[in-house]
Amino acid sequence: MNKKIKTALISVYYKDHLEEIVKKLDSQGVAIISTGGTKDFIEKLGIKVTAVEELTGYPSILGGRVKTLHPKVFGGILARMQNSSDQHDMAQYEINAIDLVVVDLYPFEETVASGAADDAIIEKIDIGGITLIRAAAKNCNDVVIIPSKDQYATLLDILDNQQGTTTPEQRSLLALEAFAVTSHYDAAIFDYFNGNRQKMVFRKSVNQARPLRYGENPHQQGVFYGNFDEIFDQIQGKEISYNNLLDIEAAVYLIDDFTETTFAILKHNNACGVASRTVLLDAWKDALAGDPVSAFGGILITNKKVDMATAAEIDKLFFEVIIAPAYEESALEILQKKKNRIILIRKNTALPRIQFRSMLNGVIEQDRDIKTETKADMKPVTSRVPTDTEYTDLIFANKVVKHSKSNTIVLAKNNQLIASGVGQTSRIDALKHAIVKARSFGFDTAGAVMASDAFFPFSDSVEIANEAGIKVVIQPGGSVRDQESVDFCNNNNMAMVFTGVRHFKH
């Protein structure tokens, strides 16, 4: 049944754009009830308003914690107009119907984000507001609920074009918005109290949604839930896809392990080119040299400002996405020539330290792998100890292997990825693939270092590495047959270090 708004309860924290709504309600003869600062705001507009205290006969108490929690308020909201028993109660207790509730909630999340003290955060847990929202939404057959300023435009449209008359469908949709607001708010409060994950339950609420062209494949639907714009500014380019997002995340996590001037190229979540150099142009050229074939259509990322000279070289390659903290204007002019290129500026935003994904009929969650080994974490287990230059390459290779799909082997030389074998069911296959690939692009594997994401169960991998001239190896260790690999290295003048840290990635 269509219903015309006659009585409104308005109690909001944010007063932005409220004036237009109040004036339209008044012009349409709607009676207005309000509280505290909102009542003062409406009165200053010269509009008649009834205080909640006048309606209930009780003042605001407990420092404002209790204002609207009264049967004359909630009876007016929850009363069912077609229910004779409800109508009898309303008449007996002199309760007037309220058919529009405009309310928002205290800024709990913003207060937490500000670093406020616990007492200040607790005071921003809304009680009356969220109860009003739930009550009005529950009784959406008779009541219109506006649960946040995000729905002001909808209300204004109803007032302008429907003279304050609402349809059941509109009220139901606004109730849906209301429960989206309350459920998100409660999830945020739960997350605050469960900061140390004492309660082993999964709660995640994200209000922002970004529909994607499709999912991993064209026949799959896809949506990104999150605030992409909080992390990136998109300068130009086509709509970002599901697969773009997977690659962008992999690229960001990889580059964050490097402080030196570094360029990386990724394809299907794996690095196909990485190089660290003093000059950005050199880093780009050497990253591309690592695998110029796979780089086609890849994701490019650097941790330094892109200059014109580097952009001119990048422009020669077809790529999907480029990410950098900044670009020279002349560099952007070059890169923007092809309009489909996605050009992203990465903002200085902290990334979550918890990861989760759907699994069977549930969700699995884990800490993100933020462990990055330094020289101090590398324990030499062979007679020959790596040189300082070899240690530098070991650190570089171990960073890349950490961000590659298991099973993986990475070969590096002079702070450059010369090849990797990724996503293999056998570590030997990963190594053989890396050696063949390195040589196919003109690299001499002699003098390179080898990194493995997990231990070697047998000595066969170090034997193959030795045949390729690779004399320095980094691995977690931990196999019951570690000594076989160590003995082979000692007998062939190879150096091996253990980190004690496995870096599986699936």
In this model, does residue 61 exceed pLDDT 80? no
**Dist CA 433 CA 125 (whole Å):** 57
Alpha helices, H only, 316-419 = 329-335, 388-402
How confident is the model at residue 69, as a pLDDT?
77
* Nearest residue to 113 (alpha-carbon basis) of 188, 39, 169, 177: 188
Give pLDDT, residue 272. 97
Q: Within 30-70, where are the H helices? A: 36-44, 52-56
Return the axis-axis angle of helices 460-467 and 482-491, rounded to nearest 10°: 30
What integer best gives the mean pLDDT of the chain? 94
**Contact present, 339 and 350 (Cβ < 8 Å):** no
User: Residues of 197-208 as b/e, b for ≥16 C-beta within 10 angstroms?
Assistant: eeeeeeeeeeee
Question: For 22-58, what is each residue's pLDDT tens digit?
Answer: 999 999 999 999 988 899 999 999 999 998 888 877 7
| pLDDT for position 7 | 95
Q: Two tokens at 220? A: 């799959």
Q: Is 471 helix (H, G, I), strand (E, B) or coil?
A: coil
C-alpha to C-alpha distances, 109 to 106, 382, 492, nearest whole angstrom: 9, 53, 60
For residue 256, the one-letter residue type is D
For residue 65, pLDDT beyond 90: no
- Given a cut of 90, whether residue 372 has pLDDT beyond it is yes
Q: What is the DSSP letter of 219?
A: T
The alpha-helical segments, DSSP class H, found in 337-387 are none
Give mean pLDDT, residues 137-147: 96
Distance CA 432, CA 427 (A): 9
Q: Is omega for the bond preceding 490 within 30 degrees of 0, making it cis?
A: no
pLDDT value at position 357?
94
Most confident of 46-60, 87-101, 130-144, 199-213: 130-144
pLDDT in tens, 160-207: 999 999 999 999 999 999 999 999 999 999 999 998 888 889 888 999
Per-residue confidence (pLDDT) for residue 332, from 0 to 100: 97
d(CA 386, CA 471): 9
372 three-state secondary structure: coil
Q: Is the CB of residue 449 less than 8 Å from the CB of residue 411?
A: yes
Burial class (CB in 10 A: 0-12, 13-18, 19+), 297: exposed
Catalytic positions: 138, 268
Q: What per-residue confidence (pLDDT) applies to 458?
A: 93
Assign 462 a pLDDT band (cuts: 50, 70, 90).
very high
Q: Which of 419, 93, 370, 131 is nearest to 253 (CA)?
A: 370
Confidence (pTM): 0.88
Q: Residue 398: pLDDT band by 50, 70, 90 thresholds? A: very high
What secondary structure letter does DSSP report for 77?
H
What's the confidence (pLDDT) of residue 225? 95
Q: According to the 3-state scheme, what is the secondary structure of 144-213?
A: EEECCHHHHHHHHHHHHHCCCEECHHHHHHHHHHHHHHHHHHHHHHHHHHCCCCCCCCCCCCCCCEEECC
Query: How confident is the model at residue 311, as a pLDDT?
Result: 98
- Confidence grade of residue 17 (pLDDT, cut at 50, 70, 90): confident
